[in-house]
Chains A and B, each alone.
Chain A
Amino acid sequence: MNKRWVIGVWGTILTGLIVPSITAQTTPLGGVSPQGGGILGSYSNAIPMGKIGLVMSLARVLDIGKAIGAGQASLPHFDLELASKVDPDTDLFAVIGLHSHEGKSEVHIENVYLQRTGLIDGLTIRAGRQFVPFGYMAQLHTELSPFATVPAVTRHYFAEGNLAADGTSIMYTLPVPFYASVQAGSWTHTFPTPVEGFGVTNRMGQYRVVVGSALTDQLEWSGSMHWMNGDGPTFQTQADRVELIGTDFKLDWEWGENLRLTLLGEALGMNRTLGTQTYQRSGGYAAAWISDGMWDYGLKTDWVELPGDTLERVQSVSGILNIRHTPAAVLKIEYKHDTGPTPQHQVAMNYVVALGAHNHPVIR
């Protein structure tokens, strides 16, 4: 364990334990979905004209049955979140990430985009680098994900669990008494290394329809359909075309003073044509958990079908437990049992601390 790792771990733990107890309360973390990142909503004394926040995340995966310490660990991941008002209708948002990649620390711009509202009723335009709002989980920052690990299907399609791309997106909320919005985006993304389904550089078109409403005072649902297609020069010489289609559904049932049951499911499918070859992939996850404001506990299952691959199918069942010991920090624990060709048991832990200006999640 090198010095940098030790400093990172202790820095994150101490920050999580001590700083939240002496700083102000912040927005509850997790269990919700932002519409492309949420809102930074608290003033910072450091930047009079803007807002600044910091999210720190430490992840560790332990393989059960192996020697203590076996498994994968990551250096703490830091996200510096910034927001600033350009004019009354235009905001600038940025997320600068610091994390470890193959043993080296890297600073990279995860998001930097301008958001323009006020042109037409219900219309929001974003331009710049942002998480492509494809699906549910792929647009969440770490602090907003309800899970300690990225679902296999999301990780399979988007290596880091998100797809940050440069482009423009337009979202229009329909003038109807329930929530209905349509969204389209045009994107260019350069991958540092090729990942499943995508080449080194891709141009992508992406479309989404989201609908939601209240069924009763306590029961709300939302669902979306989304499509994405991409092509362009790849690391190989052959023509490459990828189509992704997905759907997700979420149900929130609040009962009692402070209890909420959430059901969340998402399914994704991919068609990739590389030269004359066609590959198909599909997968999804489903989860149910109960929250009381401090504790979340529930179950999750996720799977990926890989026809033609040696693995054929990857599947796991997980117990999930999230503990919010302060409003600014959450410890996510996931006990995961892989039931695929190579069964294994793992415990994944993800500790997230948010300081300063913070996301006010906007459920979609």
Chain B
Amino acid sequence: MMKWVGWISVLWGVMGTVCTAIEVVTSTPTLAYFASVIGGDRVTVSSLSSGKEDPHGIMTKPSMMGKVRQADVVVVIGMECDPWLTELAKRMGKRTVQPGGIGYLDMSNTPIQRLGVMDAEAMAALKGYEHVHPEGNPHYWLLIDNAQVMAKAMRHTLSKVDPDGAPGYAMRHQRLETRLTQLKERLKKEGSGLQGRPYWVIHDAWSYLLANVGGSVAGSVEEAPGISPGPLYFKRRLDDIKRKKGGVLLVDQYGGSRHDGYVKKISEAGCPVAYVTQSITPDTPTYEALIEQNIQRIKAAVRNTP
């Protein structure tokens, strides 16, 4: 019996020695990017989604539970985008990665800029629609100003969980901050000519992206977030698109085929389509590439406007 206890103690000790990296689990690859860039080799980062799915509808898998159980830091988008990860952390995670713990980071609780925050009147008008986001449009990470806030929050969280690594986190955060600032400056130049146009969207995931270049969403095909349009609503929207010249339709590259019919009709009405992406994917492995590629695609579509 004592021999077994001895072996288990040795094994436990070895595991403790080997597993020294800070385990960070995020709901999306974009959050994982910030963690890995700032964390460097002191962290092991896992995103529980690939970036090609709607983070709201992720089906959790056994491997995710193992990762959450081991996590030292859990990072979520918040604003009801990824409630499944918070729930997994509550049920299976260490106390420190549960809401309120030092290793739990809800990025929506940082001082990000929020677009589309609804007042009581707007909420009342949409009463009954369950996916309304009263706290605002939740795709906030696509605004570079917000990415800077998120990067800072990531650095603080990692420094609290791993104080020994704080100087390294600060240094890498500074480098990222510089790159993000440079990206903003580049977009100021590259984005000239994108302002003042009517940008149409299926689902409004792009207000923040457009805000980077001074653009804004003129209207969405959905009647409200997640709500497919009725025939009359779509006809009115199509008339708007035809009437306001020079517009571009922004469509999620990985949004599935559910809206293909609307996209086809709008495209046939002479409105060019830009296929854009919400999240970092293997094709766009950095945040900077994600934003720049999206803007380039919008610019390409703008060039095709009549």
Q: A residues engaging B (CB < 8 A)?
A: 21-28, 31-32, 35, 39, 41-45, 88-89, 117-118, 120-122, 124, 171, 173-181, 211-214, 220-222, 252, 257-258, 293, 327, 355-358, 360-364
Contacts and interface: CB of A to CB of B under 8 A. Distances in A.
Nearest to B94: A121
Contacts of A355: 130
Contacts of B226: 24-25
Contacts of A177: 66-67, 70
Nearest to B99: A88
B6 interface: no
B227 A22 contact: yes
B69 A175 contact: yes
B282 to A, nearest CB: 11
The 3 closest A-B pairs by CB, nearest first: A212-B62, A24-B131, A214-B63
Interface of B: 52, 56-57, 59-63, 65-67, 69-70, 80, 83-84, 87-88, 90-95, 98-100, 123, 126-132, 134, 223-228, 230, 256
Contact of B57 (A28, A39, A176, A221): A28
Contact of A26 (B88, B94, B130): B130
A356 to B, nearest CB: 5
Contact of A25 (B66, B91, B92, B131): B131
A257 B269 CA distance: 30
Contacts of A173: 65, 69, 91-92
Given A24-B131, A24-B224, A362-B87, A252 B61 contact: yes
Contact of A220 (B61, B83, B87, B127): B61
A140 to B, nearest CB: 14
A293 B132 CA distance: 23
Contact of A122 (B69, B127, B223): B69
Contacts of B227: 22-24
A178 B62 contact: yes
Contacts of B66: 176-180, 212-213
B92 A122 contact: yes
A41 B80 contact: yes
A261 to B, nearest CB: 14
Which of B67, B91, B128, B130 has the most C-beta atoms of chain A within 10 angstroms of its own C-beta?
Answer: B130
A18 to B, nearest CB: 10
B51 to A, nearest CB: 12
Contacts of B65: 173, 179, 181, 212
Contacts of A26: 130-131
A222 B62 contact: yes
A31 B228 CA distance: 24
Contacts of B100: 88
25 contacts: A21-B230, A23-B128, A24-B131, A24-B132, A25-B56, A26-B130, A28-B59, A39-B83, A41-B84, A43-B130, A45-B127, A45-B130, A88-B99, A124-B91, A173-B65, A176-B70, A178-B62, A180-B66, A213-B62, A213-B66, A214-B61, A214-B63, A220-B61, A293-B256, A363-B59
Contact of B130 (A24, A89, A175): A24
Given A25-B226, A88-B99, A364 B130 contact: no
Given A175-B69, A293-B256, A361-B59, 5 more contacts: A89-B90, A118-B90, A124-B91, A176-B70, A178-B66
B80 A179 contact: no
Contact of B95 (A42, A121, A211): A121
